[in-house]
Chains A and B, each alone.
Chain A
Amino acid sequence: MIRLSNVNKIYRIKDPGISEMRDFYAIRDVSLDIEEGSIYGIIGRSGAGKSTLIRCVNMLEPPTSGQVFINDTEMTSLPPDALRDARRKIGMIFQSFNLLSNRTVYGNIAFPLELVKWKKTEIRDRVHEIASLVGIEGKLDQYPAQISGGQKQRVGIARALANKPDLLLSDEATSALDPQTTKSVLRLIRDINEKLGLTVILITHEMNVIKEICDSVAVLEDGKIVEHGPVLQIFTNPLKKATKELLSHVIQSELPESFAGLEFRQFPSRNSELVLQIWLFGSIAANPIVSDLVRKFDVDVNILVAHIDNIRSVPFGTLIMQLAGEDKEGALGYLLDMKLRVEVIGYVERPAGITH
């Protein structure tokens, strides 16, 4: 179990406005519990403090106040020697890979083992073992400049895993990779998490990464955690604006352009139609909701936006639909009764160009 408790990271910076020094909170009062064996994602836009936060975990950026516990070790109180020993059991991978350019792939993976003074023959066996786990056994004699980005990150992962860490930190590990390679590297991290039971903390600015592999997620904004919870919950019921914005890149839920400029009213009028958005997940996504509406309430349902996806094989999705007909209120009540998350966008006069 990894626990961050009331972590603050404060920098003294010069305020250009008043040309005086002031405190800047890169991290403000962050507390997190991360379960052993889980993949925990921390997401935020650039400048939100993600990099600083993940560096507080292994003390590359010691927190100004607060505590960091890894299992029962309080990282924040360790003397330098003990901190170095603790770091040897925490692997870290980076956006820019940070491999030693003048060492071969073999030499890079061997590096952490040299630090812990393993014997040459033990190092050789371990490097081969770990290289085959990450699928780069054919590249051991190459230098980092000679291999692709995806392979470099595999080397980074192998290096991070070489000394059998208890925790893997991933600092935007896939942000420099193309979508295809990103997928394969994420799958590798997932596999390792499952095979070795390794706890992973990753930071990213991409909800897709969270969706692909994380169990839980925390949303960081201006150094504060604004929302956290299981990934499915955050995806299907985001509460904060920052979360919704980040989600808007993976869940398309913008109204079609023909709605631009139309007035949405809070209450129905004679000719108005109801536009609403529902979120579905789990078993409910399999229910024939739309045909139920049509049958039971005699409404016309026009689906404006639909997005269905899977989070770790749980289906979830969102629908934006426009309801016309007599019993729109009844239909709305029915949806609310189904314990769906429903958001009424408003009543609108039927826009030109959309016919039923």
Chain B
Amino acid sequence: MSNDLPALLIKGSLETLYMVGMSSLFAFAAGLPLGVILSVTAETGILRNKPLYSALSSVVNVFRSVPYIILMVALMKPTKWIVGSSIGINAAIVSLSAAAIPFVGRVVESSLREIDTGIIEAAQSMGAGTGEIIYKVLLPEGLPGIIAGFTLTVINLIGYSAMAGVLGGGGLGDLAVRYGYQRFMLDVMVSTVIIMVLMVQFIQIIGDKLAALTRHDRNG
């Protein structure tokens, strides 16, 4: 068995990267607009809309308050219609995305909320419309915060994806449970942990670099 260890680890890593990559993509694609809508419809936003904000905010809160492991089980039925199966790595992507979208939404909302309202007012005074304020002011000014929050999301997803492994999701978590835990293979356990630590480190470093590159509101 130990001879196959490298192959197992590579397969597990690729599956994890695939799950995390796809669910990050979906989380970003849906979470970014969600966050923008939350921030512009909020009390202090440029398109204040209390009913819409409250409704979206409650849905986000519901999803965020359910622990991932329970969300995963609760979403088995809908997952089956979407990807045709309730287990496997594609199934895991559904629940991972469902957990990450509201998180990204909040992260984006809070990054945009930190932008000085004076800057938005200045844009309005220059005749900027809502779309122009979103694309030319909110998103560029909030970009460093959005990148930092998105980095956090991807790291969370690496952790969640390991849990998805428990339900036959594949990836490094699956490997650690089936070989490392159930078959007492310490080398598998240790290797998966090391790989995950490296992944997290790598993503954090890249995220920090990108955030720093896009941040110009500090001297130097």
Contacts and interface: CB of A to CB of B under 8 A. Distances in A.
A58 B128 CA distance: 13
B219 A100 contact: no
Q: What is the predominant secondary structure among interface residues of chain A facing chain B? A: mixed
Interface string A296-323: 0000000000000000000000000000
Interface SS of B by simple majority: helix
A163 B219 CA distance: 29
B122 interface: yes
Interface in A59-97: 60, 84-88, 90, 92, 94, 96
Interface string A80-123: 00001111101010101011111100000001101110000000
Nearest to B124: A60
Interface of A: 58, 60, 84-88, 90, 92, 94, 96, 98-103, 111-112, 114-116, 143-146, 159, 163, 169
B129 interface: yes
Closest 6 pairs (CB-CB, A-B): A101-B217, A98-B122, A88-B127, A87-B127, A143-B216, A98-B118
Interface string B102-125: 000000000000001011011111
B175 to A, nearest CB: 42
Contacts of B136: 111, 114-115
B169 to A, nearest CB: 39
A339 B214 CA distance: 66
A159 B214 CA distance: 22
B136 to A, nearest CB: 7
Nearest to B121: A60
B216 A94 contact: no
Contacts of A101: 119, 141, 216-217
A99 B143 CA distance: 16
Query: Which of A85, A90, A100, A115 counts the most chain B CB atoms within 10 A?
Result: A100
20 contacts: A60-B124, A84-B128, A84-B129, A90-B125, A92-B125, A98-B119, A98-B121, A100-B141, A101-B216, A101-B217, A102-B143, A103-B140, A111-B136, A116-B127, A143-B217, A144-B216, A144-B217, A145-B216, A145-B220, A146-B219
A101 B217 CA distance: 5
Nearest to B118: A98
Given A92-B126, A143-B216, 17 more contacts: A60-B125, A87-B127, A88-B126, A96-B116, A96-B118, A98-B116, A98-B121, A98-B122, A99-B119, A100-B137, A100-B141, A101-B119, A103-B216, A112-B126, A115-B136, A146-B220, A169-B125
Contacts of B214: 102
B218 interface: yes
Nearest to B115: A101
Nearest to B122: A98
B132 interface: yes
Contacts of B116: 96, 98
